[in-house]
Amino acid sequence: MIGVLRVLATSRIGMTTGLTIAPIAAIGLYCAGLQLTDNFHVIAAGEAYRSAQPTPAEIDAYSKEYGIKTIINLRGASPDSRWYRAEEHEAAKLGITLIDFRMSAGEELTQARAAQLIAILEKAQKPILIHCKAGADRSGLASALYLAVVDRAKKSTAGQQISLRYGHISLPFAPAYAMDKTWASLEPSLEVANS
């Protein structure tokens, strides 16, 4: 009888552990898959796209396929970094304007900084490619702002850009939760025709 109870207890613990770990593993695999595809997505067809840090080959491909005229780099200028020099070189070679706007996924944007980003999104020659390192957090907030302010999408639709679909973890203890907090603080003041 004691042996049966041990097996039941062990299998119950194993099942509980498995049921807990399985969704976490699935989310991890999904996010890894996003990175393998450069987390490239359409924000507004013909106008705006988002991705993780693009390679020179990806910049070339996006330029040819989507006609990218402007890249908005949310990582900021980093002339000492190989990734930045490669991006800068490829953009110049293709005649693409590179705009650097440094922001951190771990820090909320102030109203003033958000206004600067919105002005860039509005004035940049389209089509644009918005990117950060992973294409999940900073790119999510910028994409939401683009949809809400420039494209005049519903705020509920725009807010979906900051979601797990793109690799963003919307939990208060997550390192990039500042993007959710920024969206929540900006959303009421955004002028959107179809709220």
Q: Domain with 102 in it: what CATH number?
A: 3.90.190.10
Asked whether residue 194 is domain-assigned, the answer is: no
Tokens 């999940």 map to which residue? 136
Asked if residue 42 has pLDDT above 80, the reply is yes
The mean predicted confidence, pLDDT, of the chain is 84
Neighbouring C-beta atoms of residue 194, cutoff 10 Å = 10
pLDDT, position 169: 85
Q: Do the Cβ atoms of 71 and 128 come closer than 8 Å?
A: yes
Q: Are residues 147 and 77 in the same domain?
A: yes
Q: Are residues 9 and 61 in the same domain?
A: no
Model confidence at 7, pLDDT cuts 50, 70, 90, reads low
CA end-to-end span of the chain: 64
Tell me which of 158 and 148 has the higher pLDDT.
148
Cα separation, 49 vs 130, in Å, equals 6
- Residue 37: name the closest of 25, 55, 20 by CA: 55
Number of domains in the chain: 2
Q: Are residues 31 and 47 in the same domain?
A: no
The whole-number average pLDDT for the span 87-91 is 99
Q: Are residues 49 and 7 in the same domain?
A: no
Q: Are residues 150 and 96 in the same domain?
A: yes
Query: For the segment 153-180, what is each residue's pLDDT rounded down to a tens digit?
Result: 777 777 787 888 888 787 788 888 898 8
Window from 7-11, 135-139, 140-144, 185-189 with minimum mean pLDDT? 7-11
Token couple for 81: 């970094």
Asked whether residue 164 is domain-assigned, the answer is: yes
Cα separation, 59 vs 62, in Å, equals 5
- Residue 81: name the closest of 104, 60, 94, 100 by CA: 100
Q: Are residues 45 and 107 in the same domain?
A: yes
Q: Are residues 139 and 155 in the same domain?
A: yes
Q: Are residues 86 and 141 in the same domain?
A: yes
pTM: 0.79
Asked whether residue 195 is domain-assigned, the answer is: no
Q: Give the distance, in angstroms, between the CA of residue 180 and the centroid of all CA atoms in the same chain.
A: 12
Cα separation, 67 vs 59, in Å, equals 10
pLDDT, position 68: 99
Q: Give the distance, in angstroms, between the CA of residue 35 and the centroid of all CA atoms in the same chain.
A: 11
Q: What angle do CA 195, 161, 63 make, to 5 degrees?
A: 115
Q: Are residues 149 and 61 in the same domain?
A: yes
Q: Which domain holds residue 5?
A: 1-36
Asked whether residue 94 is domain-assigned, the answer is: yes
Q: Give the distance, in angstroms, between the CA of residue 163 and the centroid of all CA atoms in the same chain.
A: 8
- Residue 139: name the closest of 111, 171, 103 by CA: 103
pLDDT, position 16: 55
Cα separation, 74 vs 76, in Å, equals 5
Q: Are residues 24 and 70 in the same domain?
A: no
User: What percent of the chain has a predicted confidence (pLDDT) above 90?
Assistant: 58
Asked if residue 195 has pLDDT above 60, the reply is no
Backbone φ and ψ for 42, nearest 5 degrees, come out as: -80, 130
Asked whether residue 135 is domain-assigned, the answer is: yes
Cα separation, 116 vs 124, in Å, equals 12
- Residue 63: name the closest of 112, 128, 19 by CA: 128
